[in-house]
C-alpha cells in the first residue's frame, strides 16, 4: 500500500471518529433544547372569521411590512418579555396595539398574580412613537422605576414592569 | 395593518428517537469496518479476508440489539447503544490488530467476538426480562449477599499475574466475578441508601463546616472501607477496591447531598491506599513503577515508561492503524490493560481524545438518565451504574497514562476480557431500561367520571 493512501486513511479515520462524536453531541443538543418555537399570526378575534386565503395574503403583507418600517431608523421592531413566566416570548411590532393582561383576549396573556385582567396597552402614536398606557390596573405599571399615571413614550430597552413580568422594546 | 407575529414556546412531545439511534448505529458499525480495512491494508497491503464477515457480524449484533430496544424500550436514550457498539467494534479491531503480532501470543479476537455476542445476548435478555427496574428494589439484601460472595470468591482460586480476581472453572475458562459484582452491589447500594438516606443526611452534627454523621450511621461506610481494604490485601487488586469504595462514596454523596461524605471517602481511601502500599508487595511494586517509571527492571524500563513511549511515538495524529509498535510493550496484558496504549500510539492524541470522549458521552447519558428518572431508586441506580463505569474508565485510563498507579482493570468494551464485556453490556441494558422509564411520556389521565352528563334520578 502506498504511503499516501495510508496517510489519507489515517487522517480519514480520525475525521470519521470525530464526526461520530460531533453527531452524538448534536443529538444530545437536540435533546437538551427540546422545545419548539412556532411563529403564528396571532390576530385574535377578527382574524379567525376570515377565510384562509385572505390570511395568506395577510401573511404576505406582513412580510412586506418590515421593509416599510425599516425606512424609519431607530424604531423598535419587537417586544420581548425579559422576565417572568413568559420569558423569551417575542411579539413583532407592526403598528398594532398590544394589550397586556390576564384576560384571554390580550395580545400577551400574563400568567402573573399581580397583573390585572386588562392591565396596560402599548400602541404607536401618529409619529410612530410607541406609547405605554396603564389601563387602571390594581398594582400599576412601571416604566423603569416610575409608576405610570399618563400615557408615556417608551424608549428602546427601557423595562416595563407589570407584577413579576418585565417587557422591553427592542430593535 | 394590525396583525402581530407571536412566537410561542411549547415543549416537544417526547420523541422516541429510535430512528436517530438506527442512523447512529449504522455509523457506529461502519467506523470499525473502516478501521478493520485500514489495519489490513497497512499490515498486508490487501483488504483482510474476514472484512465482510466481520462487518455483517457486528451489523447483525447491532441490528438485533436495536430491534429489541425498539420493541421493549422504545423511549430509551438514543446514544448509549451506538456508543457501546462503536467501542466494542473498535475494541475487536484493536485486539485483532494485536493478534497480527506473533510475539503477543495466541489470537484472541475470535473469542472476544464470541464474548461480545454473549454480551449482546445478555443485553437482550435484560431488556426482555426486566420490564421495570424497580423490580430490582425487591432484591436489595439478596443482591448484597450475592455481591459479597462474588467479591470473596476469587480469594480461593489461584491468582493470575499477581492479582487474585479470577474464578477458574476447569474446562470453561476463567471469570472475573468483580465485573458482575459491580452491577449487583450498585443495586444493593441504591436500595439501601434510598431507605437510609434521611437518617444519613439529617441526623448529623455540624463540626467545622462538616456534617458528622452519627456513629451508627457511619457503620456501613466503615464496613465497606474495611471490605475494600480486605479485597486489596487478599486479592491484591487496587482497581476493584478503589471501584467499590468510590462507588459507595459517590452514591452516598448523591443520596444525602452532604459534601462531608466526599471528604471522609477521600481521607479513608487515601489512608487505606498508603497503608496497603507500604505493606503489600504487589501493590508496592505498582506504586514504585508509577513513581519511578524509568527505573530499570529486568534490563529494561518499566511498563509504565513503555506505554509513555507508545503515546509519545503516536504524537498528535498517530502512526496510523496497524503501523504502531505496541508489540514492544513488554507488559503482560497488551490486549487488555494496555490496549489504550495501542489506541494512543496508532490514533494519536486526537484519536485517544475521541475515544475518551465517547466514554464521557456514555457516562453523561447515564447521569442524564439519573436526572430524568422519576423514582429515587432509579435515580440512585442510574448514577451508581454510570459512576461505576466512570470510575472504571478513570482507573484504567489514569493507570495507563501514568496519572495513578496502574491497576489490573479492563477498559469497558474496548479491552480484551470476557467478563468485562458481558457485564458492561448488561450495565448498558439496565441504564437503557431506566432511561426508557424516565423518558416515557406520562400516560394521559383517565377520563373523569364526573365529566359524564348528569342523570336525573326519579325517586318516586
pLDDT tens-digit map of A65-91:
444 444 456 778 888 888 888 887 888
Which of these, B30, B35, B6, B156, lies nearest to B94 by C-alpha position? B35
Decide: helix, strand or coil at residue A80. Answer: strand
Residues of A in contact with B11 (CB under 8 A): 34-36
The pLDDT assigned to A55 comes to 44
pLDDT in tens, B174-191: 788 888 988 998 999 899
How far apart CA B82 and CA B20 sit, in angstroms, is: 10
Determine contact: B379 vs chain A, CB below 8 A.
no
Decide: helix, strand or coil at residue A165. Answer: strand
The arithmetic mean of pLDDT across residues B268-288, rounded, is: 80
The arithmetic mean of pLDDT across residues B161-182, rounded, is: 75
**φ, ψ of residue B403 in degrees (nearest 5):** -75, -40
Determine if residue A58 is left, alpha or beta; phi over 0 gives left, psi from -120 to 50 gives alpha, anything else beta.
alpha
- Residue B295: pLDDT band (50, 70, 90) is confident
pLDDT in tens, A13-45: 999 999 999 999 988 887 765 555 666 554 444
How far apart CA B423 and CA B416 sit, in angstroms, is: 13
Q: Inter-chain contact A25–B361, Cβ cutoff 8 Å?
A: yes
pLDDT beyond 90 at B363: yes
Among the residue ranges A94-108, B329-343, B369-383, the one predicted with the least confidence is: B329-343
Q: Which residue of A has its CA nearest to B317?
A: A11
- Residue B32: pLDDT band (50, 70, 90) is very high
**Whole-structure pTM value:** 0.73
Kindly state the helix (H) or strand (E) to which residue A114 belongs, with its residue range.
none
How far apart CA B320 and CA B351 sit, in angstroms, is: 10
How far apart CA A1 and CA A5 sit, in angstroms, is: 7
pLDDT beyond 50 at B209: yes
Percent of chain A scoring above 70 in pLDDT: 75
Which of these, B65, B184, B190, lies nearest to B125 by C-alpha position? B65
The pLDDT assigned to B431 comes to 95
Cell numbers placing A81: 418579555
How far apart CA A101 and CA A119 sit, in angstroms, is: 5
Q: Inter-chain contact A88–B9, Cβ cutoff 8 Å?
A: yes
The pLDDT assigned to A59 comes to 45
Q: Round to the nearest angstrom and report the end-to-end CA distance of chain A.
A: 61
Determine contact: A56 vs chain B, CB below 8 A.
no
The Cβ of residue B375 has, within 10 Å, a number of other Cβ atoms equal to 16
The arithmetic mean of pLDDT across residues B99-126, rounded, is: 87
- Residue B456: pLDDT band (50, 70, 90) is low
Comparing B348 with B322, the larger pLDDT belongs to B348
The pLDDT assigned to B263 comes to 85
Q: Kindly provide the b/e burial profile for residues A66-102, where b requires at least 16 CB atoms within 10 angstroms of the residue's own CB.
A: eeebeeeeebbebbbbbebebeebbbbbbebebbbbb
Percent of chain B scoring above 70 in pLDDT: 85
Residue B9's Cα: distance from chain center in Å?
Answer: 37
Residue A67: C-alpha distances to residues A40, A62, A94 (Å): 20, 10, 11
The pLDDT assigned to B377 comes to 93
Q: Inter-chain contact B9–A107, Cβ cutoff 8 Å?
A: no
Which of these, B308, B286, B287, lies nearest to B401 by C-alpha position? B308
pLDDT in tens, A42-60: 444 444 444 444 444 444 4
The pLDDT assigned to A68 comes to 45
The pLDDT assigned to B321 comes to 87
How far apart CA A44 and CA A64 sit, in angstroms, is: 21
pLDDT beyond 80 at B201: no
Comparing B362 with B329, the larger pLDDT belongs to B362
CB contact set of B99 (below 8 Å; sequence gap of 6+): B107, B108, B109
The arithmetic mean of pLDDT across residues B102-108, rounded, is: 77
Q: Inter-chain contact B354–A21, Cβ cutoff 8 Å?
A: yes
Kindly state the helix (H) or strand (E) to which residue A101 belongs, with its residue range.
strand A98-101
pLDDT in tens, B82-102: 999 999 999 999 999 888 887
The number of C-beta contacts closer than 8 angstroms across A and B is 151
Write down the residue that cell numbers 496519572 correspond to.
Answer: B403
pLDDT beyond 90 at B43: no
Mean pLDDT score of chain B: 83
Q: How many residues does chain B have?
A: 460
The pLDDT assigned to B192 comes to 87
Residues of A in contact with B435 (CB under 8 A): none
> Do A141 and A116 touch, CB atoms closer than 8 A?
no
The arithmetic mean of pLDDT across residues B205-228, rounded, is: 70
Residue B31's Cα: distance from chain center in Å?
Answer: 21
Domain ranges (residues) in chain B: 135-441
Q: Kindly provide the b/e burial profile for residues A138-168, where b requires at least 16 CB atoms within 10 angstroms of the residue's own CB.
A: eebbbbeeeebeeebebeeeeebbbbebbbb
Among the residue ranges A73-82, B60-69, B144-153, the one predicted with the least confidence is: A73-82
Q: Inter-chain contact B86–A94, Cβ cutoff 8 Å?
A: no
> Do A61 and B1 touch, CB atoms closer than 8 A?
yes
pLDDT beyond 50 at A63: no
Kindly state the helix (H) or strand (E) to which residue A130 belongs, with its residue range.
strand A130-134
Residue B384's Cα: distance from chain center in Å?
Answer: 10
The pLDDT assigned to A58 comes to 45
Percent of chain A scoring above 90 in pLDDT: 11
The pLDDT assigned to B438 comes to 87
- Write the residue in B11, B321, B355 that is nearest to A10 by C-beta: B321
Burial class of B230 by CB neighbour count within 10 A (0 to 12, 13 to 18, 19+): middle
Q: Inter-chain contact A107–B350, Cβ cutoff 8 Å?
A: no
How far apart CA A42 and CA B342 sit, in angstroms, is: 61
How far apart CA B252 and CA B293 sit, in angstroms, is: 36
Residue B128: C-alpha distances to residues A165, B17, B123 (Å): 50, 20, 9
- Write the residue in B8, B31, B320 that is nearest to A6 by C-beta: B320
The pLDDT assigned to B220 comes to 66
Residues of A in contact with B35 (CB under 8 A): 13
Comparing B315 with B220, the larger pLDDT belongs to B315
Write down the residue that cell numbers 414592569 correspond to.
Answer: A161
**φ, ψ of residue B37 in degrees (nearest 5):** -60, -40
How far apart CA B426 and CA B388 sit, in angstroms, is: 13
- Residue B25: pLDDT band (50, 70, 90) is very high
How far apart CA B323 and CA B101 sit, in angstroms, is: 11
- Rounded to two decimals, the ipTM of the complex is 0.84
Q: Which of residues 103-132 of A touch B (CB under 8 A)?
A: 107-108
Residues of B in contact with A18 (CB under 8 A): 350, 354
How far apart CA A94 and CA B186 sit, in angstroms, is: 60
Amino acid at each position: 500500500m502506498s504511503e499516501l493512501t495510508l496517510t489519507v486513511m489515517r487522517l480519514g479515520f480520525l475525521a470519521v471518529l470525530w464526526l461520530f462524536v460531533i453527531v452524538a453531541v448534536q443529538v444530545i443538543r437536540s435533546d437538551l433544547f427540546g422545545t419548539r418555537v412556532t411563529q403564528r399570526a396571532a390576530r385574535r378575534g377578527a382574524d379567525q372569521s376570515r377565510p384562509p386565503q385572505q390570511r395568506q395574503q395577510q401573511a404576505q403583507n406582513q412580510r412586506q411590512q418590515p421593509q416599510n418600517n425599516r425606512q424609519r431608523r431607530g424604531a423598535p421592531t419587537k417586544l420581548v418579555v425579559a422576565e417572568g413566566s413568559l420569558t423569551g416570548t417575542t411579539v413583532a411590532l407592526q403598528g398594532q396595539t398590544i394589550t397586556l393582561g390576564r384576560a384571554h383576549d390580550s395580545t400577551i396573556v400574563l400568567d402573573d398574580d399581580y397583573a390585572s385582567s386588562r392591565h396596560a396597552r402599548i400602541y404607536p402614536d401618529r409619529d410612530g412613537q410607541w406609547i405605554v398606557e396603564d389601563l387602571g390596573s390594581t398594582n400599576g405599571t412601571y416604566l423603569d422605576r416610575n409608576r405610570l399615571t399618563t400615557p408615556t413614550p417608551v424608549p428602546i430597552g427601557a423595562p416595563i414592569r407589570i407584577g413579576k413580568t418585565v417587557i422591553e422594546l427592542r430593535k | 395593518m394590525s396583525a402581530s407575529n407571536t412566537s410561542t414556546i411549547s415543549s416537544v412531545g417526547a420523541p422516541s428517537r429510535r430512528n436517530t439511534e438506527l442512523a447512529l448505529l449504522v455509523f457506529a458499525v461502519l467506523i470499525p469496518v473502516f478501521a478493520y480495512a485500514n489495519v489490513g491494508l497497512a499490515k498486508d497491503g490487501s483488504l483482510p479476508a474476514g472484512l465482510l464477515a466481520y462487518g455483517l457480524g457486528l451489523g447483525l449484533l447491532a441490528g438485533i440489539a436495536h430491534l429489541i430496544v425498539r420493541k421493549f424500550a422504545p423511549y430509551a436514550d438514543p446514544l448509549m447503544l451506538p456508543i457501546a457498539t462503536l467501542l466494542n467494534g473498535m475494541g475487536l479491531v484493536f485486539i485483532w490488530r494485536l493478534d497480527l503480532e506473533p510475539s503477543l501470543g495466541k489470537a484472541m479476537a475470535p473469542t472476544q467476538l464470541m464474548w461480545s455476542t454473549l454480551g449482546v445476548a445478555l443485553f437482550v435478555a435484560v431488556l426482555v426480562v426486566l420490564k421495570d427496574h424497580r423490580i430490582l428494589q425487591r432484591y436489595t439484601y439478596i443482591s448484597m449477599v450475592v455481591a459479597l460472595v462474588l467479591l470473596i470468591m476469587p480469594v480461593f482460586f489461584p491468582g493470575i499475574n499477581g492479582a487474585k480476581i479470577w474464578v477458574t472453572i476447569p474446562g470453561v475458562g476463567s471469570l472475573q466475578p468483580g465485573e458482575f459484582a459491580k452491577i449487583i452491589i450498585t443495586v444493593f447500594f441504591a436500595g439501601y441508601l434510598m431507605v437510609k438516606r434521611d437518617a444519613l443526611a439529617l441526623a448529623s452534627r455540624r463540626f467545622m463546616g462538616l456534617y458528622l454523621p452519627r456513629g451508627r450511621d457511619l457503620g456501613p461506610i466503615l464496613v465497606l472501607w474495611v471490605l475494600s481494604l480486605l479485597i486489596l490485601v487478599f486479592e491484591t487488586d487496587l482497581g476493584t477496591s478503589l471501584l467499590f469504595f468510590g462507588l459507595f462514596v459517590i452514591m452516598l454523596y448523591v443520596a444525602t447531598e452532604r459534601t462531608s461524605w466526599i471528604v471522609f471517602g477521600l481521607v479513608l481511601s487515601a489512608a487505606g491506599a498508603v497503608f496497603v502500599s507500604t505493606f503489600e508487595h504487589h501493590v508496592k511494586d505498582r506504586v514504585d513503577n508509577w513513581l519511578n517509571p524509568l527505573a530499570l527492571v529486568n534490563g529494561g524500563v518499566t511498563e509504565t515508561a513503555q506505554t509513555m513511549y507508545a503515546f509519545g511515538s503516536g504524537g498528535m495524529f498517530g502512526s496510523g492503524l496497524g503501523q504502531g509498535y505496541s508489540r514492544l510493550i513488554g507488559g503482560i496484558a497488551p490486549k487488555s490493560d494496555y490496549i489504550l496504549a495501542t489506541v494512543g500510539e496508532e490514533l494519536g492524541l486526537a484519536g485517544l481524545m475521541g475515544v475518551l470522549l465517547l466514554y464521557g458521552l456514555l457516562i453523561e447519558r447515564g447521569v442524564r438518565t439519573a436526572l430524568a428518572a422519576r423514582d429515587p431508586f432509579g435515580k440512585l441506580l442510574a448514577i451508581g451504574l454510570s459512576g461505576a463505569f466512570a470510575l472504571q474508565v478513570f482507573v484504567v485510563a489514569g493507570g495507563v497514562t501514568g496519572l495513578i498507579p496502574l491497576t489490573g482493570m479492563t477498559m469497558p468494551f474496548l479491552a480484551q476480557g470476557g467478563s468485562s464485556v458481558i457485564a458492561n453490556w448488561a450495565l448498558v441494558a439496565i441504564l437503557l431500561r431506566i432511561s426508557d422509564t424516565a423518558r416515557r411520556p406520562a400516560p394521559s389521565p383517565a377520563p373523569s367520571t364526573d365529566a359524564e352528563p348528569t342523570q336525573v334520578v326519579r325517586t318516586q
